[in-house]
Amino acid sequence: MPEAGRGGGMAPAAALSKLHGELIALCVVAMCTLQDNAPEWAHSVVKRTGVTANPADLGVTRDDFVGALRSLHDYVERERLDYSIVNARTIDARTAERLWVAVQTVSRQ
């Protein structure tokens, strides 16, 4: 990956793409759990690939995660996104908490 100038860290585009993949992995675990669609498999893929997907490692707080899930239905409707589990299921406070517990069990890096 390209490196930034003096700091030696990743260039902004490279850092963003890495973070994007990590967040996608976290969301795959959450959505597999929501759909009761092989959440153990999602956990195992994250573990085998070594991708960082635990919210603590990504700086994702409980409040941010639960808040995003609770507002997801309205966002999907407002943006007229394709029909998905988000349209079919209500993500209430109890469900959001269950998904938070699920993503917290993702292996730490």
8 Å CB contact between 93 and 66: yes
**Over the stretch 28-81, which tens digit does the pLDDT of each residue have?**
999 999 999 999 999 999 999 999 999 999 999 999 999 999 999 999 999 999
Burial degree of 63 (CB within 10 A; 0-12, 13-18, 19+): exposed
Please identify which residue in the block is written with the tokens 């993949």.
21
pTM higher than 0.85: no
Kindly indicate the confidence band of residue 18, based on its pLDDT and cuts at 50, 70 and 90.
Answer: low
AA identity, residue 77: E
Phi, psi of 59 (to 5 degrees): 75, 20
Q: What number of other Cβ atoms are within 10 A of residue 76's Cβ?
A: 16
